[in-house]
Structure 1
Amino acid sequence: MPWWIAKFKTLFEALSRYEIIDIDDRHDVHCFQSLTIGLKGRNNKELSIDSSTSPYSMKDFRKFLRSWYSLEKITAAIIRDGDKREPRLLIIPRKRSRSFTNVGEIAQLAESLSYQVIVAEPGPDVSGFAKIINSCDVLMGVHGAGLTNIVFLPENAILIQVVPFGKVEWASRISFEDPTKDMNIRYLDYKIKVEESTLIQQYPADHEVLRDPSAIGKQGWVAFRSIYLDNQNVTLDVERLRPTLVKALQLLHQ
Structure 2
Amino acid sequence: MNSTAYSRPSKLPGGAGDRRPPTRLRGFASKIEPKKLGAGLLAGCCLALLTYVSLAKLFAGGEGAALAKMSCDENGVDEGFPYARPSVCELSGDIRISPKQKTMYLVNPSGAGGFDENGEKRLRPYARKDDFLLPAVVEVTVKSVPSAAAAPQCTKRHRVPAVVFSVAGYTDNFFHDNTDALIPLFLTASHLKGEVQLLITNYKPWWVQKYTPVLRKLSNYDPINFDADAGVHCFAAGFLGLYRDRDLIISPHPTRNPRNYTMVDYNRFIRSAYALRRDRPSALGEAPGMRPQMLIISRGGTRKLLNLEEVAAAATELGFNVTVAEAGADVPAFAALVNSADVLLAVHGAGLTNQIFLPTQAVVVQIVPWGNMDWMATNFYGQPAREMQLRYVEYYVDEEETSLKDKYPREHLVFSDPKALHKQGWQALAETIMKQDVKVNLTRFRPFLLQAIDKLQE
Residue of structure 1 equivalent to 2:415: 210
Cα displacement (A) at 1:204: 1.9
Residue of structure 2 equivalent to 1:14: 217
Among candidates 354, 378, 383, match of residue 173 of structure 1: 378
- Aligned pairs for 1:34-113 (under 5 A) are 34-37=238-241, 39-41=242-244, 43=245, 45-52=246-253, 53-55=257-259, 56-80=261-285, 84-113=289-318
Cα displacement (A) at 1:181: 2.1
What letter is aligned with 2:319? S
Which of 1 and 2 has higher RCO (CA within 8 Å, sep 6+)? 1
- Alpha-carbon RMSD: 2.2
Cα displacement (A) at 1:21: 3.9
Cα shift readout 1:194-221 (whole Å, capped 9, x = no counterpart): 2111111111232222221112122222
Q: What TM-score does the superposition give when structure 2 sets the normalisation length?
A: 0.51
Cα displacement (A) at 1:31: 5.7
What letter is aligned with 2:361? N
Secondary structure of the residue aligned to 2:367 is: strand
- Structure 1 stretch 134-143 or stretch 4-13: which is displaced more? 4-13
Secondary structure of the residue aligned to 2:432 is: helix
Secondary structure of the residue aligned to 1:107 is: helix
Cα displacement (A) at 1:128: 0.8
Residue of structure 1 equivalent to 2:405: 200
Cα displacement (A) at 1:81: 9.5
What letter is aligned with 1:199? L
Residue of structure 1 equivalent to 2:453: 249
Cα displacement (A) at 1:178: 1.0
Secondary structure of the residue aligned to 1:189 is: strand
What letter is aligned with 1:233? D
Among candidates 385, 388, 392, match of residue 183 of structure 1: 388
Cα displacement (A) at 1:20: 2.8
**CA 1:69 to 1:210, structure 2 compared with 1: closer, same or farther past 3 Å?**
same
Identity %: 36
Give, in whole Å, the separation in 1 of the partners of 2:450 and 2:419. Answer: 32
Cα displacement (A) at 1:95: 0.9
Cα displacement (A) at 1:87: 0.4
Give, in whole Å, the separation in 1 of the partners of 2:351 and 2:312. Answer: 18
Cα shift readout 1:44-89 (whole Å, capped 9, x = no counterpart): x321222342423222222222222221111112214995321011
Residue of structure 2 equivalent to 1:114: 319
Give, in whole Å, the separation in 2 of the partners of 1:218 and 1:245. Answer: 33
**CA 1:62 to 1:81, structure 2 compared with 1: closer, same or farther past 3 Å?**
closer
Secondary structure of the residue aligned to 1:177 is: helix
Among candidates 340, 355, 373, match of residue 135 of structure 1: 340
Give, in whole Å, the separation in 1 of the partners of 2:225 and 2:409. Answer: 48
- Structure 1 stretch 184-193 or stretch 77-86: which is displaced more? 77-86
What letter is aligned with 2:265? D
Q: Is the 8 A contact 2:213 2:274 kept in 1?
A: no
Residue of structure 2 equivalent to 1:226: 431
Give, in whole Å, the separation in 2 of the partners of 1:68 and 1:76. Answer: 19
**CA 1:246 to 1:28, structure 2 compared with 1: closer, same or farther past 3 Å?**
same
Give, in whole Å, the separation in 2 of the partners of 1:83 and 1:215. Answer: 53
Secondary structure of the residue aligned to 1:71 is: coil
Q: How many residues align?
A: 249
Q: Greater Rg, structure 1 or structure 2?
A: 2
**CA 1:209 to 1:29, structure 2 compared with 1: closer, same or farther past 3 Å?**
farther
Give, in whole Å, the separation in 1 of the partners of 2:268 and 2:314. Answer: 33
Q: Is the 8 A contact 1:141 1:161 kept in 2?
A: yes
| Structure 2 segments unaligned to the other structure (5+ residues) | 1-203
Give, in whole Å, the separation in 1 of the partners of 2:372 and 2:313. Answer: 29
Cα displacement (A) at 1:29: 6.1
Give, in whole Å, the separation in 1 of the partners of 2:334 and 2:394. Answer: 23
- Structure 1 stretch 185-194 or stretch 120-129: which is displaced more? 120-129
Give, in whole Å, the separation in 2 of the partners of 1:164 and 1:32. Answer: 51
- Structure 1 stretch 115-124 or stretch 209-218: which is displaced more? 209-218
Secondary structure of the residue aligned to 2:240 is: coil
| Structure 1 segments unaligned to the other structure (5+ residues) | none
Greater per-residue strand proportion: 2
Secondary structure of the residue aligned to 2:279 is: coil
Q: Is the 8 A contact 1:80 1:253 kept in 2?
A: no
Cα displacement (A) at 1:139: 0.3
Residue of structure 1 equivalent to 2:122: none
What letter is aligned with 2:410? A
**CA 1:78 to 1:30, structure 2 compared with 1: closer, same or farther past 3 Å?**
same
Q: Is the 8 A contact 2:213 2:273 kept in 1?
A: no
Give, in whole Å, the separation in 1 of the partners of 2:232 and 2:410. Answer: 58
Residue of structure 2 equivalent to 1:153: 358
